[in-house]
Amino acid sequence: MTDVLLRYFQDNLVGAVLVALALAVFVVVGAWLSVIDLRSHLLPNRIIFPAYPVAAVLLGLGALLAGEGERILSMGGGAAVLWLAYFVLRVIYPAGMGFGDVKLAALLGLYLGFAGWSHLLWGTFAAFALGSCWGLVLIVGRRGTLKSAIPFGPFMVAGAALVLALPSLG
């Protein structure tokens, strides 16, 4: 997404500022949710739900002002695809995935979808890779087992952040 933001700054300052504000919201909300999830294994609705319209409006207006209205469709598609994928995981194995993770997935899908479908794929992969690595560290260090509960929100946010920091992946 860095290449998108740089292009927006060259072509449309207002659109770039809106996207930069959306990314600032991502950082603040992502950090806040990660700390809460690490401490309590919860991702509160009172934080996630207000972030949806803020991200959608800032990213959507930024895309429209830059003449890239198709990004709005990919944002909505990204949110829907990630929500559905995480919902299916929640239904298949409820002990392994909380519903807060499902709701967070849709929010991250807005951002990753805005950046592109390859970002959506790699951001999702990165979250699971980071979470798996942490689980292995806990198991090898004898601080956890295969049944240990691990807050997944921080890995979802970190995976999305890592991928969003990359230039175009497609």
- Dump pLDDT digits (tens) for 14-51: 888 999 999 999 999 999 999 999 999 999 999 999 99
Q: Is the dihedral of CA 111, 114, 116, 117 positive or negative?
A: positive
Tell me the pLDDT of the chain averaged across its residues.
93
What's residue 170's pLDDT? 57
pTM of the predicted model as reported, rounded to 2 decimal places:
0.93
Q: What pLDDT shows up at residue 43?
A: 97
Taking 3-state DSSP, the helix, strand and coil percentages for the chain, each rounded to the nearest 5, stand at: 80, 0, 20
Is 136 a residue whose pLDDT tops 70? yes
Q: How far apart are CA 84 and CA 37, in angstroms?
A: 21
